[in-house]
Structures are given as structure tokens and as C-alpha cells.
Amino acid sequence: MPRKNLSNEELIKYIIDAIQEKKGKSIVIANLTGLGSSLCDYFVICQGNSPTQVSAITDSIWDELTEKCGYKPFAVDGQRNSQWVAMDYGEVLVHIFLPDVRTFYDIEHLWADAKLTEIPDLD
């Protein structure tokens, strides 16, 4: 499929849909725009309850963005143990954690000036 020209906000919407399809929880969007030292404009952070679910969420995001939008990540890291998977989509970085690993690293609060948006869990 040819790559669609999506805004960051549209890309994030596809990512959220893919996370929720696999019952990912506690989704937070960290808006890093305007923070001079950030590597990207947005973090999308979520969690799965097991390495299997973290892997399923990773696959769902990959499939959703590849099949519907023609987007492939520049890099994916952490799939070996699926405790913390990072997916690099350029201006949008996706972090998929196990709950205890997410609590330990607390990356959404490393940038205290970032605007955080919590996405309600689907039941």
C-alpha cells in the first residue's frame, strides 16, 4: 500500500485504535512539542498485562499502520522479552510496557512540562 500522508494526530488515532483492539490499558499521549530537548513530538504510552499481550499490541500497531496507512516503523526494540517495546514512527514514539516496568521507568513524567492526555480504557 502506498504511504498515506497523515498528520501526527491522525497517526496517533490509528495507534490508539490498534492498542485498544488488543485491550491495551492506561494509554497516555505525551505532547512534547515545544520542548527543545525532545527526540520526537509525541510519546504514546500504554501497557499490557503480560509479555504475550505486549507482543500482541506491538503486532496490532504494526499491522494497523502497515496495512491501512503504509507506515512501517523506523525501528522496533524490546520484542525479545516484551517487557518494554518501543516503536519509532519518527515524530511519534510508541512505548508498550508491562505494568511494573512502566511504574519503574515512569517515562511520562520525565518531561514535566509535557502535556499529558489520558485516553479512557475500553471495557
Tell me which DSSP letter residue 20 carries: H
**96 occurs within a structural domain:** yes
CA distances to 1, 45, 83 from 48, rounded to whole Å, are 29, 11, 9
Q: Are strands 75-77 and 115-119 parallel, antiparallel or unpaired?
A: unpaired
- Residue 113: per-residue pLDDT: 84
Q: Which of 20, 118, 5 is nearest to 60 (CA)?
A: 20
**91 occurs within a structural domain:** yes
- Residue 1: per-residue pLDDT: 60
- Residue 120: per-residue pLDDT: 93
- Residue 85: per-residue pLDDT: 98
Q: Which domain holds residue 101?
A: 8-106
**70 occurs within a structural domain:** yes
The pLDDT tens digits along the chain (123 residues) read 667 788 999 999 999 999 999 999 999 999 998 777 677 899 999 999 999 999 999 999 999 999 998 999 999 999 999 999 999 999 999 999 999 999 999 998 887 788 999 999 987
**28 occurs within a structural domain:** yes
